[in-house]
A and B are shown apart, each in its own frame.
Chain A
Amino acid sequence: MTAPIICREDEVFVLNLGPQHPATHGVLRVKLTMDGEYVVKAEPVLGYIHRMHEKMAEDRTFAQFMPNTARMDYLHALAYNHGYVLAVERAAGIEVPERAEYIRVITVELNRLTSHLLWWSAFLLDLGGFSPLLYAFDDREQILDLLERVTGSRLTYCYFRFGGVYNDIDDDFITGTRNFIKRLRSRLPRFYHDLVTKNIILIKRLKDIGFVSKEQCRKYGATGPLLRGSGVQFDVRKNEPYSVYPEFDFDIPVYEEGDSMARYMVRMDEIEQSMRIIEQALDKLPDGPVRAKVPKILKPAAGDYYAAVEAARGSFGCRLVCNGGKSPYRLKLRSPTFSNLSLFGEVAEGMLLADALAFMGSLDLVIPEIDR
């Protein structure tokens, strides 16, 4: 369906997709030059929700910036918490107690599940399937309830602290998590794979649509399921291990096809892997404190520090330049969706409008994270 288009200059029209279009999941605007239903040129326009997070970091203390991290990728907020505290802990040389590391992994992976479930439901909504949304939200609610128990919030978490986490998890949380995983395991084959993954319409709409090559990923710095769907085995949790991830046995799902179906399958497999990690972490959970003794106001030594974590959408990097003061001299945030979106224009050329939007859905965009 992606035949080269021969069109006359005066026969194309510009279709302004967004910033308030049901398929752009927020305030993304795409300027599409169309020839009938074919996309001739696609140009994402950003900046509608730019909030200067990086600048805000420069005039507040390290701790004061914590809540901001949750407001970038609000769907996988804990990974952003994690990336930022890792960078600051590297800068200030803080040791984190082992129990806190395990709790971090458990909550981050639970949060990754909510993010993938929400992506799944929103993606199906893009393809015109409504009911899966409610099934996935049914499961997602259970996780939100669990996370609300320990973190106190349901979406924009601010749970991690320098040197640990805010408070300890209790037995109810542990049993609740185990029950939830049992429940999701029993529901995944029926409600997710039988109903949706094996659906002929879904397969026809995703297979061989939106092909992204390894070279394109490299060119634009794409990471996460997009990269793994193009056959590159790269996951920060395995390649540049942080926290206690090396202690767990889990696989990195990789698909060679590079089409929308491959990205779909990568995320579906990641749900399984996250559940494996959570189970192992619950089994191995050590006793001890959940927070190291850390001074109220941090003043890391001058220097340049970097930490990266694997968020649900790709690798989130945090570059911290300190000058010895109580706030960062410069904080550069590398958000995965920004890079992932930038290849949209190149890939969407020559696609049909419906396929281009399905492809956009398979990228799993979170707009506040693109704009920061």
Chain B
Amino acid sequence: MDTSIWRPILYLIGFMAFAGVNAAWLGWAERKGAAHIQRRNGPKEVGPFGLWQPLADGIKLMTKQLLIPSGTDDILFRIAPILAMIPALTSMVVIPFSGNIQARPIDLSVLLIFALASIGMFAILLGGWASGNKYAVISAARVVSQSIAYEIPMLITVITIVMITGSMSLQDIAMSQQGGFWHWNIFRLEGGHFIYMWVGFLIYFICSVAETNRAPFDMAEAESELVAGYMTEYGSMGFGLFMMGEYLNIVVGACMTTILFLGGWGSPFGFMPGIWWFLIKIYILIFAIIWIRWTYPRTQIYKLLNLSWKILIPFSLVNLLVTAAFIKVF
């Protein structure tokens, strides 16, 4: 089976479809979620519950002219939106949706995903830089410092998980949490130790929100300060690709949080096949991210960096040390 040519092709089509559907309809979900939080209806005219709204938006964006303002770096300006999509799409390859639904099980999948996540930051940096717009350049500068600040605590927290599991493969990490919610990394009740793992979860979740540039950490597109940040000069599908990239990053982030902390496809009680549990978990996380965005005001770039360097990094380091000590002792 593994050597067949059809398996990768089928998975490719499947994951592309999953990614495409999510990229488009999370926009709808966000608008609908925001609308209900704000006590209004949101999209409702196009199709039942406004469900075809993403198609209408897509058609509108695609029929618009791709405008490249004078004074921009032409090539980089065109590459940046594509670069926003590719890492997120590629990440999908190694994510195990269930015990046997994974395109390529590779041993270093954790490493691969975080390497790709860092490339996603380059898209914003290039887009902002190539625009030549002052707001976009400020936004690009912000993104770099934010990305560096939040990748450090995020990776340190991931190292604790890798240490506990003893593997860098997402498949293995999820497998080690099977059999009821008390085995999940966030709770870890069975040994008596590691019960503080929810601290790691909080750090990781905050970092993943910051890493995907979502409110309250959306410094890069702070529209009341920087107009639209790195997207200021983008219209048409360039803008559309940035948006889709953002939503795909959220999906990848939610998948990673689920696998690392919430037991992957593991069912908390033991019914329903795993894939459904996996989807339920990631959509709960995505809803939480949408919920946070429409509830809190934006922080300020220096407070954001302070939060990372002064609180999250020390906490994640202590977390790492304590975990290492426990592994040595028990």
Closest residue of chain A to B222 (Cβ to Cβ) is: A128
Bound Cα distance from A317 to B300, whole angstroms: 38
A125: which of B141, B224, B295 is its contact (CB, 8 Å)? B224
Residues from chain B with Cβ under 8 Å of A199 in the complex: 296-297
Q: Is A298 among interface residues, defined by CB-CB distance under 8 A?
A: no
Interface string of A192-222 (1 = CB under 8 A from B): 0001100101101100000000000000000
Closest residue of chain B to A15 (Cβ to Cβ) is: B134
Do A352 and B297 form a contact, CB below 8 Å, given A134-B40, A357-B225?
no
Do A23 and B301 form a contact, CB below 8 Å, given A128-B218, A134-B39, A201-B216?
no
Bound Cα distance from A130 to B223, whole angstroms: 11
Bound Cα distance from A126 to B298, whole angstroms: 9
Q: Is A240 among interface residues, defined by CB-CB distance under 8 A?
A: no
Closest residue of chain B to A21 (Cβ to Cβ) is: B227
Bound Cα distance from A9 to B40, whole angstroms: 50
Q: Is B186 among interface residues, defined by CB-CB distance under 8 A?
A: no
Do the beta carbons of B298 and A128 come within 8 Å of each other? yes
Do the beta carbons of B296 and A129 come within 8 Å of each other? yes
Bound Cα distance from A357 to B34, whole angstroms: 25
Do the beta carbons of A204 and B294 come within 8 Å of each other? no
Q: Is A353 among interface residues, defined by CB-CB distance under 8 A?
A: yes
Do A124 and B302 form a contact, CB below 8 Å, given A134-B40, A201-B216?
no
Q: Is A138 among interface residues, defined by CB-CB distance under 8 A?
A: yes
Bound Cα distance from A134 to B38, whole angstroms: 6
Q: Is B138 among interface residues, defined by CB-CB distance under 8 A?
A: yes
Interface string of A135-148 (1 = CB under 8 A from B): 10010000000000
Q: Is B303 among interface residues, defined by CB-CB distance under 8 A?
A: yes
Q: Is B37 among interface residues, defined by CB-CB distance under 8 A?
A: yes
Nearest-neighbour CB distance to chain A for B12, whole angstroms, equals 38
B297: which of A15, A23, A129, A353 is its contact (CB, 8 Å)? A129
Q: Is A7 among interface residues, defined by CB-CB distance under 8 A?
A: no
Bound Cα distance from A144 to B11, whole angstroms: 57
Do the beta carbons of A23 and B224 come within 8 Å of each other? yes
Nearest-neighbour CB distance to chain B for A35, whole angstroms, equals 12
Residues from chain A with Cβ under 8 Å of B227 in the complex: 21-22
Do the beta carbons of A37 and B301 come within 8 Å of each other? yes
Residues from chain B with Cβ under 8 Å of A202 in the complex: 297
Q: Is A13 among interface residues, defined by CB-CB distance under 8 A?
A: yes
Do the beta carbons of B134 and A131 come within 8 Å of each other? no
Q: State which size class the interface on A falls in.
A: 20 to 34
Do the beta carbons of B298 and A131 come within 8 Å of each other? no
Q: Is A52 among interface residues, defined by CB-CB distance under 8 A?
A: no
B interface size (C-beta, 8 A): 27
Interface string of A36-63 (1 = CB under 8 A from B): 1100000000000000000000000000
Residues from chain B with Cβ under 8 Å of A301 in the complex: none
Do the beta carbons of A352 and B218 come within 8 Å of each other? no
Do the beta carbons of B301 and A205 come within 8 Å of each other? no
Q: With a 10 A CB-CB cut-off, give which of A126, A131, A354 has the most chain B CB atoms.
A: A354
Closest residue of chain A to B303 (Cβ to Cβ) is: A204
Q: Is A6 among interface residues, defined by CB-CB distance under 8 A?
A: no
Beta-carbon contacts under 8 Å, A103-150 to B: 124-131, 133-135, 138
Beta-carbon contacts under 8 Å, B296-330 to A: 296-303
Residues from chain B with Cβ under 8 Å of A138 in the complex: 39
Nearest-neighbour CB distance to chain A for B131, whole angstroms, equals 14
Beta-carbon contacts under 8 Å, A131-175 to B: 131, 133-135, 138
Do the beta carbons of B301 and A128 come within 8 Å of each other? no
Do the beta carbons of A204 and B301 come within 8 Å of each other? no
Bound Cα distance from A129 to B300, whole angstroms: 13
Residues from chain A with Cβ under 8 Å of B302 in the complex: 1, 352
Residues from chain A with Cβ under 8 Å of B222 in the complex: 128, 354
Q: Is A371 among interface residues, defined by CB-CB distance under 8 A?
A: no
Do the beta carbons of A357 and B224 come within 8 Å of each other? yes
Q: Is A259 among interface residues, defined by CB-CB distance under 8 A?
A: no
Q: Is B215 among interface residues, defined by CB-CB distance under 8 A?
A: yes
Nearest-neighbour CB distance to chain A for B39, whole angstroms, equals 6
Do the beta carbons of A131 and B37 come within 8 Å of each other? yes
Do the beta carbons of B39 and A128 come within 8 Å of each other? no
Residues from chain A with Cβ under 8 Å of B296 in the complex: 129, 199, 201
Residues from chain A with Cβ under 8 Å of B138 in the complex: 37, 353
Q: Is A310 among interface residues, defined by CB-CB distance under 8 A?
A: no
Taking A15-B134, A128-B216, A128-B298 as known contacts, 4 extra A-B pairs with beta carbons closer than 8 A to each other, sorted by chain A number, are A37-B138, A134-B38, A138-B39, A354-B222
Q: Give 8 closest A-B pairs by Cβ, nearest first.
A: A128-B298, A129-B297, A134-B38, A127-B297, A23-B224, A126-B224, A354-B300, A128-B297
Q: List 29 A-B contacts (CB under 8 A).
A: A21-B227, A22-B223, A22-B224, A37-B301, A127-B297, A127-B298, A128-B222, A128-B297, A129-B295, A129-B296, A130-B34, A130-B294, A131-B34, A131-B37, A131-B38, A131-B295, A133-B38, A134-B38, A135-B38, A196-B297, A199-B297, A201-B297, A202-B297, A204-B299, A204-B303, A205-B299, A353-B138, A354-B301, A357-B225
Spell out A's residues near B (CB within 8 Å). 1, 13, 15, 21-23, 36-37, 124-131, 133-135, 138, 195-196, 199, 201-202, 204-205, 352-355, 357
